[in-house]
Amino acid sequence: EAGVTQFPSHSVIEKGQTVTLRCDPISGHDNLYWYRRVMGKEIKFLLHFVKESKQDESGMPNNRFLAERTGGTYSTLKVQPAELEDSGVYFCASSQDWDRTRQYFGPGTRLTVT
Amino acid sequence: GQQLNQSPQSMFIQEGEDVSMNCTSSSIFNTWLWYKQDPGEGPVLLIALYKAGELTSNGRLTAQFGITRKDSFLNISASIPSDVGIYFCAGPHGSSNTGKLIFGQGTTLQVKP
């Protein structure tokens, strides 16, 4: 069974540019989550999809961040325009519905905004 | 809001030594999770604890769910070089079946062969 995959693994962009991160969850997992870890800090929740619907987006920093999950399969997280403080590692995770705490994480996308 | 405090922040130990780290909170958690992140990888779930007082092992790893439900401990016995990484405690925000996990800041473990 394939795990959670994320693309790209690294992205370096300039302030003001746009970046789109992609996540493919484990097949059959209805729940998809985005998290972010800024250097040396804790991993912070951004949002949670159940199929194609946003269940909880309480962690989204501001309206420069837009997450979508087309058809309840893969998800994208777009940052537009990027700011310096957006730098960090963005993780995607997925889970089955019967145990949402048992989340499987992807390898992350390291975003650097210069 | 809910916060998890991990200690120590980092550890540098000799291969073969036992390791102990903990996680505390000012609020109650109904589930405690321990994850490990290897360099360049995402966090991997090591142990999940669901009941106060529960003691669970996974190979050389043992974790306990504190009686007060405000803390948890992770012990690693006879450390080996591949134990190197960042260990995170985590728990669900609010009710037990929420998807939102709260993470501690992590304990970075380095093992000297």
Please give the pLDDT value at position A98.
85
Q: Is the pLDDT of residue B96 over 60?
A: no
A88 neighbors A74 (Cβ within 8 angstroms): no
**Residue that has been written with the tokens 């989204």 in this structure:** A60
pLDDT at position A79, please? 97
Asked if residues B88 and B103 have their Cβ atoms less than 8 Å apart, the reply is: yes
Residue A40 is predicted with a pLDDT of 80
The answer for A 50-89 residues in CB contact with B (under 8 A) is 50, 55-56, 58-59
Q: Among all residues of chain B, which has the CA nearest to that of A90?
A: B42
**Which tokens hold the place of A70?**
């087309």
Q: Which of A31, A53, A43, A50 is nearest to A91 (CA)?
A: A43
- Choose between B98 and B33: higher pLDDT: B33
What do you get for the CA distance between the two ends of chain A, in Å?
37
The C-alpha of A100 sits at a distance from chain B's nearest C-alpha, in angstroms, of: 5
pLDDT band at A60 (very low <50, low <70, confident <90, very high): very high
Place of tokens 């390791």: B19
Query: Which one-letter DSSP state was computed for residue B93?
Result: S
Q: Contact at 8 Å (CB) between A51 and A57? A: no
Which residue of chain A has the CA closest to B91?
A101
**Residues of chain B with C-beta less than 8 angstroms from the C-beta of A104:** 45
Torsion of CA A11, A17, A18, A22, to 10 degrees: 0
What's the pLDDT at A56?
92
Query: Mean pLDDT over residues B84-95, rounded?
Result: 90
Asked if the model's pLDDT at residue B112 lies above 70, the reply is: yes
**Which residues in chain B touch residue A50, judged by CB atoms under 8 angstroms apart?**
99
| Rounded average pLDDT over A53-76 | 94
Q: Is the pLDDT of residue B94 over 80?
A: no
Query: What are φ and ψ of residue A92, in 5° steps?
Result: -115, 145
CA distances (Å), origin A75, targets A6, A20, A53, A55, A92: 10, 10, 11, 14, 9
**pLDDT, position A93:** 97
The 10s digit of each residue's pLDDT in A34-53 is 999 998 889 999 999 999 99
A97 vs A65, higher pLDDT: A65
Q: Amino acid identity of B34?
A: W
pLDDT band for position A1 (cuts 50, 70, 90): low
| Digit-coded pLDDT (tens) for B4-38 | 999 999 999 999 999 999 999 999 998 999 999 99
Q: What is the mean pLDDT of chain A?
A: 95
What integer pLDDT is reported at residue A29 of this predicted model?
Answer: 95
Tokens 């550890």 belong to residue: B11
Query: Concatenated DSSP letters for chain B?
Result: ----EEE-SEEEEETT--EEEEEE-SS--S-EEEEEE-TTS--EEEEEE-STT-EEEETTEEEEE-TTSSEEEEEE-S--GGG-EEEEEEEESSSTT-S-EEE---EEEEEE-
- Mark yes or no for CB contact A48/B99 under 8 Å: yes
Q: Chain B contact for A103, CB < 8 A?
A: yes
> In the 8-state DSSP scheme, what is residue A85?
G
> For position A2, what pLDDT does the model report?
82
Distance from CA of B30 to the nearest CA of A (A): 11
Q: Provide mean pLDDT across the span B61-83.
A: 96
* pLDDT at res. B51: 94
